[in-house]
Amino acid sequence: MTVTGPCNAPDVVDVVALGESMVTFLPTRPGRLADVPSFDRGIGGAESNVACVLAAAGHTTRWISRVGADGFGDHLVEAIGGYGVDVSHVRRDPARPTGIYFRTAGDRSTDAHEVAYYRAGSAASAMTVADLDLEAVRAGRILHLSGITAALSADCLALMRELTAPRPDRPLISFDVNHRPALWRDAHGPEVLLELARGADIVFVGDDEAREAWGLHGARAVREALPEPEIVVVKQGRGGAVALDKDTDDLLCEDATGTATFVRALNVDVVAAVGAGDAFAAGFLSATLRDLPVRDRLRHGHLTAAATLTTPGDLAPPPPRALADRLAALDDTAWGRLRLGPGWTQADEDERAEKEARTP
């Protein structure tokens, strides 16, 4: 799949990402929210995370959203713009606040993980088809969206339906399912997410999300439920990820050829798992923009996720392109031997070579 997009549109960029970003408060130590005495401020938002990582990787990106006319809104616009993302189309809302949330330091997959959202009635939840510059939204080779936006309000859902509707001049639509049951006000969330995913060109979904939302087990079942997208990427956590294109007849896992490609995940010394899914999507989209083979797109997804997994925050600089290309080109045996820990993206070339040589 080659990305073309609206090349003749004004101010065209590689990727436009639309969705809510919030100010994130990260604990200064492990423990319950009730026990943590202080927090460090960061930024968090699935779509803006993707835009920031892609910008850091050298792509032109634009983030479109609404924030409050408050200090938190100022911080988001300045911080995301600081990554090199175009924030000129972010609207300020004087009547609604910028969303914020607090979380514990632990992995969100454990029972001890806590998240406290303060986003009800946020500025981003007031996004509508009428008050956004749809020409700027569509002026990208790829438009990246997620299911989170659809859950924010009826107006946001109408916007998502407009953006994923078939039209001859639309960009390539990338959709991360991002099933968040707590955000939905009724039981129709899974049905809506399936509808939106079927309108996209590239879909990212975790196998755990597919089971919880749709009762689907396995990548083949997901592909059969999503016949329209050009490619569906099913993430299998520590196991790896499989990409299935539109003509999949059989699911081939290891040493895949044809229309289904599996790449095992890297061995990573995890510091924090938050943001890894967004980083994976950014790595995959970066390689898609470069028209790399599907196997390499998956490998770049894993490598970019590994950069985030080995740092404490939601965002981490991706590996330098030359390093990522070199690692993505390894044979299967060498790929399986890699083990990446904190600081691996910043090590100099000699140190990297020595570390890779020592990997059992």
Q: How many CB atoms lie within 10 A of CB 300?
A: 29
Catalytically annotated residues: 278
Q: Answer for the pair 16, 143: CB distance below 8 angstroms, yes or no.
A: yes
- Gap between the Cα atoms of 91 and 69, Å rounded: 9
Q: E-assigned strands of the chain?
A: 13-18, 22-27, 39-44, 61-64, 66-68, 91-93, 100-103, 115-118, 140-146, 172-176, 202-206, 231-235, 240-245, 260-264, 267-268, 339-340
**What is the dihedral sign for C-alpha 236, 237, 239, 242?**
positive
- Gap between the Cα atoms of 75 and 78, Å rounded: 5
**What is the dihedral sign for C-alpha 116, 120, 126, 127?**
positive
Q: E-assigned strands of 199-320?
A: 202-206, 231-235, 240-245, 260-264, 267-268
- Gap between the Cα atoms of 25 and 100, Å rounded: 8
Residue owning tokens 């999503």 = 226
Nearest 10 degrees: Cα torsion 242, 248, 249, 252: -20
Q: Which is it for strands 100-103 and 115-118: parallel, antiparallel or unpaired?
A: antiparallel
